[in-house]
Structure 1
Amino acid sequence: MSVDPLKFRNALGQFTTGVCVVTANPKGYEPFGMTVNSFASVSLDPALVLWSLRNDSECYAAFEAAKGFAINVLSLDQAALSNRYSQKDDHNLDSAHYRIGKSGLPILRGVLTSFECDIWQRYDGGDHLILVGKVSEMNVSPTGEPLVFHSGRYRELR
């Protein structure tokens, strides 16, 4: 049985996800970020997380050169950041949007949580590359509501 890609994407959209911006600054690149909703936990010990990147992404070469990345979990009031870093060919970070974390990675300001990661492994995932990171640092905000995405649009938890 063959699965229609558009129908499959729409079906996956029924799964509510958080919204993150993955940031990095490998040698030879300006600090950059891209919006994703493919973030997931993998392991508690060691602390591992993953996200996936389309093979045809304009950020592919930069993440291929990266030794680490940061996952920035957006808060409800950061939809504009999500929109900003989801734009094609416009991923350089605005200097007002980030600070440099303990590991040297760019961390977005005002996020609910950030995970600074060293790349643990890269795996082929069909039309995506799966990047697994080992968390070296994290920062968690004690308050705030998450930005979530469901069925093609942002939502609020109630």
Structure 2
Amino acid sequence: MNYQPLTKKQVGALLKVLSSDISREVLTELSVSKDESGHTVLVATDGYVLAVLPAGDFSDIADKTISRDALTRWYKLASTKDLLTSEELHELAGEPAGVYPNWLRQIRDATPGAIEQVILNPDYLVTMEKLAGDGLAYTTHGQLGALVASREGARYVVMPKKAA
């Protein structure tokens, strides 16, 4: 599970996954974390969607974060053919603004279940597909549970809207 450099389009999708709400500053950061197997991963969430991307050789910066501002600067300066490399991510890493949410529990506690109806923000599904680089197949986890897709070591989670 090595880090695959991200295209400018994928970084744009990643920025949509990261929160822009500075009242929840920790959610405006890309977390360099460890998954349940001890592999280093990049985790982004805004509380409604969550993306976990394999990071491979990032163990030296585990428990650090990369700010939304730093990623936005890279995105604005990048051409359409540029790739966000592991070297650049290492340069962008800094200290976290706070304690990152327990994202592992959100995935671990999700139990697959059938649903009759779910209300979603379709923009979240499009964002996750852009980040993945292709279409995704989701597993449902009950009417108000997460929709989870996996591909090549990455995980994509979309939370449904509560019924009005």
Give me the TM-score of the superposition, normalised by structure 1: 0.31
Structure with more strand by fraction: 1
Q: Give the number of the structure with larger relative contact order, counting CA–CA contacts within 8 Å between residues 6 or more apart.
A: 1
